[in-house]
Structure 1
Amino acid sequence: MIEQVTFYLGMVLVMVFLIILAQRIQVAYPVLLVLAGLIISLIPGIPVLNMDPELIFIIFLPPLLYEAAWSASWKELWKWRRIILSFAILVVFVTAFSVSLIAYHFIPGFTLALGFLLGGIVSPPDAVSAGAIMKFVKVPKRLSSILEGESLLNDASSLIIFQFAVIAVSTGKFVVQDALLTFLWMVFGGVGIGLLVAWLLMKVHKLLPDHVDIHQVLSILGPYAMYIAAEEAHSSGVLATVGGGLLMSYHRFSFLNGQTRIRGYNFWSTVSFILNGLVFVLIGLDLPQIVSGLGKTSLGEAIGYGVLITVTLVVVRILSCYGAVITTLIMRNFITVADTSNPGWKTPLLLGWTGMRGVVSLAAALSIPIRLANGTPFPQRDLILFITFVVIFLTLVVQGLTLPFFIRRFGFAEQDYTKPEEKVDAFIEKEFAALALQYMRENLSEAELAQPVYQKLMKASAYRLSSDGASAFSEPIKELYRHILNRQRKWLVEKNRTTMTLDEDIVRKHLYYLDHEEERLLLR
């Protein structure tokens, strides 16, 4: 037991050094971590990793999905909702169907049901992998928003395919009506449960005393409560966590104070960093266990099947992206669409090349039953596991390494937020200053405004005060400045919600500054 703990602590240290190396050599860190896990697994004496899929789902997914949902822009998700939903539902089903046909015709011993099972496992791009790659690779905002939104929502589609494919393989029966009803319950039940738990958590946050550590503990329990509640109700824990996380993120300023938001940002950033790194290392470490179960299928043949399925996934995704563009160009004549410009041939190609798979696919493959109900071994289970690993490995390594090349080669320009960041910063700061002046003129008398300290406030930066004489600030002056900060915060949140051309990343940066200024005020 002590050796196991020491081993995993050592993996954390290796992970940190590899991420530093990835930044130095300008490579997306998931690529190096998967390669490192693979190399370490080949070292003699390394403990054999037995990954429990239930533990992967419970330990890793809720916090990672919650952090991704908390960081996602609701404005961007809504703006690109049609294409995100089409990729999260239609493209997943088309991809699974394509994989099933290819597997049935080219992989010996695969039936259509087994092909659908494999398709359900590998068809959805992974939110964890996509988020990790997108944080490193700079792509236009619309592409990162579409990819992140799709990968957050597509698991319901893939898991329903997976579940009913398992039933079809086990019993030889597939009931379309049952599959549809289950799919609807997974989607709407999962989202509904997540929203309900999130609403209750927000109420509890408001009732709790204003103590940062208490709120942090509740924020840790939140994603697990959403996920487990939905899974117990046999709906989608993934969608519950995403839906609840989006709701709490949208209302973060109504139930958390600035100090709690700052601590929460730092905490979740660290948690995401550690869990993301461990996930990719564990993917590489799991290879020996997967290879040992291939049986009669040679390693070369298994790798070939994995490459075949990977190529199928990439081709189908690229064709789907071009199909989505053509459909949008046609439908814009009848309905209002988010983008009326012609994206050309480069943008769909880039979007098609960004479908990285990850831990969700591996956990789903590992959760395939070892035996059927009659006691016979589940057909092709080990080969499906190996193909899934190859797909994850190739999409992370090949696509992760080549994405920067494609972006530089094609010269993708930002289409939606073309105004330079410094100009947006200057606009927000100017508005902050105007709001501060307006508030003081509305709430202070002429005699108060004439006092030096209020004169100083009126001349100071809207979100940063001079440190000179800060210790002499009285409680009335602090209270005044709190009101100014709240008015600036409310204006910026409302401006972000009503102005679609305002980049939410810049908005969040200024909101973070306001929270920091409020926390500094408490120390004065």
Structure 2
Amino acid sequence: MIENFTFYLSLVIAIVLLIMLANKIKVAYPVLLVLAGLGICFIPGIPIIHIDPALIFIIFLPPLLYEAAWSISWKELWHWRRIILSFAFVVVFLTAMSVALVANHFIPGISLALGFLLGGIVSPPDAVSAGAILKFVKVPKRMSSILEGESLLNDASSLIIFRFAMIAVATGQFIWYEAALSFSWMLLGGVGIGLLVGFVFMKAHKYLPTDANTDIVLSIVTPYLMYIAAEEVHSSGVLAVVSGGLLLANKRHLFLSSTSRLRGVNVWESFCFVLNGLVFILIGLALPEITEGLRNEGVSISSAIGYGLLITLVLIVGRILSAYGAVIVTLIMRNFITVADTRSPGFRVPLVLGWTGMRGVVSLAAALSIPVQLADGSAFPQRNLILFITFIVILLTLLLQGLTLPYLIKKLITPNLETDLSEDEVYHHIRKELADHALFHLRTNYSEQLETDPVLQQMSRKWEDAGRLADDMVMAEACKVIYLDILSKQREWLHQKNNEEATLDEDIVRKHLLNLDLEEEKLRFL
């Protein structure tokens, strides 16, 4: 480990540079990272990175799922619950079953149980890849909400299938009523444990004398404890993290200070940035070990690539058909129940939704977590072939769908279908209403203090100005440039004053510099 430290450090630097390049050329960074990992592994002398399969899920999944749960809107998740649940559970199961049947029929040595194992691995689309692509294009809010909600839950359903398939492979049998009971416990137990652990940590944040630093440390520990606690009692660790994360995310204003919330966002973004970068570059770096295992098993690379192409085709076609099937079911059911959207999306939205099926983090983690040996000491059947097919699926979906999805969205999707107002117009409209509400509360409850306190009077004038702001009086880009220049000159003046006055406390100067940074950050919302 120590002797390879320089390589690991170089790997992190390479990830940062590649993501910068991806942002520059407007390509989803998972695509570049996978290709880079694939290229690096062919460099002579590069050490082979091997992570203990038992640790794959624990290292990567809990924090990534937890951060996703904090980012998603519970209101949107509930609004689109029917289609999200159908994609996260029904579509994932149908996809896994399709992969199992095709693999069992066309791939030698793949039993039905191994087919379901492969299906559980490759069935969940990757949220990180879709999110990285959607950053460069605008899509209707309903589509992004469905994709975010689906990605939050489909990991749990696919890993449940994966776990049952592992049991079937290891024991050679599948007892349906035991599986049904186990499935129920995984769902209910996972959600219950996540909510319980989340409630305990919520009270700890609220009643213990924590500060911003301890709040952030506790937030990092929380998803790991949720996941481990649920897995220890054989329920779903993924559902525990998701349910607990949703609880804490929607109650964050009750137990976290504003400082903890602001700093926590920065820490979590950086933390998940590194984790996502590492896991995608690991996909490429894992290839030499997988191909060597294929050779040992006597499977030709060309045949394995063909199997990977076949499974990829099944996944792409199956998801597109599922997207159209979901639309048809919704159009029929709107005659009997209240649905989230009564409008017909046409053929475009389901096609784009079906094309957002890139595979990534969860599929890699699941594949690498397959044990090398069974409990009796025999080699796990077709392990390297399953790993190689998974690699091909991830690579092809990232390259084919990842590179073409932005073009497809621009050609087929019109943004802001839900409202006649743009996002900026809605933002400034709420800003004015918020100012009016603050001004009304101030004048109603603190009228006497308002007459005598100059600070309150200044606050009142600020809200009056915000309330009178016309819709077209949004800060223009030219004005922002001037404002940024002024802030820069203020920073220069502060640094100069700090250098010239030896007795001036530098901490005071740093507080003013922090205020300037906050003012500059506000420009993003003006």
The TM-score bracket by the shorter chain reads: 0.7 to 0.9
Which residue matches 2:478?
none
8 A contact 2:216–2:264 mirrored in 1: yes
Which residue matches 1:470?
none
Alignment partners' CA distance in 1, 2:168 and 2:346: 42
SS state at 2:117 partner? helix
8 A contact 1:160–1:179 mirrored in 2: no
Q: Aligned match of 2:460 in 454, 458, 464?
A: 458
Cα deviation for residue 385 of structure 1 reads 0.6
Cα deviation for residue 417 of structure 1 reads 4.2
Alignment partners' CA distance in 2, 1:451 and 1:200: 43
SS state at 1:27 partner? coil
Which residue matches 1:342?
344
Which residue matches 2:399?
397
Does residue 144 of the first structure (1) align with residue 132 of the second (2)?
no
Alignment partners' CA distance in 2, 1:262 and 1:367: 35
Alignment partners' CA distance in 2, 1:148 and 1:271: 20
Which residue matches 2:256?
256
Does residue 353 of the first structure (1) align with residue 355 of the second (2)?
yes
Alignment partners' CA distance in 1, 2:73 and 2:419: 14
8 A contact 2:121–2:159 mirrored in 1: yes
Pick which of 124-133 and 307-316 moved more.
124-133
1:251 partner amino acid: K
8 A contact 2:134–2:406 mirrored in 1: no
Q: 1:463 to 1:16 in 2, by over 3 A?
A: farther
Which residue matches 2:326?
324
Q: Aligned match of 1:409 in 392, 408, 411?
A: 411
8 A contact 1:160–1:182 mirrored in 2: no
> With structure 1 as the length reference, what TM-score do the two structures score?
0.86
Cα deviation for residue 456 of structure 1 reads 1.4
Pick which of 127-136 and 205-214 moved more.
127-136
Q: Which structure 1 residue ranges, 5 or more long, are not aligned?
A: 468-512
Which residue matches 1:482?
none
Alignment partners' CA distance in 1, 2:131 and 2:186: 24
Q: 1:334 to 1:6 in 2, by over 3 A?
A: same
Alignment partners' CA distance in 1, 2:114 and 2:206: 50
2:242 partner amino acid: V
Q: 1:448 to 1:312 in 2, by over 3 A?
A: closer
Cα deviation for residue 336 of structure 1 reads 0.2
Q: How does 1:38-117 map to 2 (within 5 A)?
A: 38-117=38-117
Cα deviation for residue 224 of structure 1 reads 1.0
Which residue matches 1:237?
237
Alignment partners' CA distance in 1, 2:128 and 2:424: 31
Which residue matches 1:500?
none
8 A contact 1:68–1:131 mirrored in 2: no
Does residue 174 of the first structure (1) align with residue 174 of the second (2)?
yes
8 A contact 2:359–2:394 mirrored in 1: yes
8 A contact 1:30–1:133 mirrored in 2: no
Cα deviation for residue 106 of structure 1 reads 1.2
Alignment partners' CA distance in 1, 2:329 and 2:127: 25
Q: How does 1:102-501 map to 2 (within 5 A)?
A: 102-209=102-209, 211-294=211-294, 295-446=297-448, 448-449=450-451, 451-461=453-463
Alignment partners' CA distance in 1, 2:195 and 2:150: 19
Pick which of 139-148 and 114-123 moved more.
139-148
1:278 partner amino acid: L
Pick which of 322-331 and 397-406 moved more.
397-406
2:445 partner amino acid: N
Q: CA RMSD in A?
A: 2.2
Aligned residues: 471
Q: Deviations over 1:302-360 (max 9, x none)?
A: 11110110010010111011111000000000000001000001111111110121121
Q: Deviations over 1:124-146 (max 9, x none)?
A: 12334444444444332212211
Alignment partners' CA distance in 2, 1:306 and 1:260: 46
8 A contact 2:136–2:406 mirrored in 1: no
Alignment partners' CA distance in 1, 2:442 and 2:206: 29
Alignment partners' CA distance in 2, 1:458 and 1:32: 51
Pick which of 234-243 and 419-428 moved more.
419-428
Which residue matches 2:512?
none
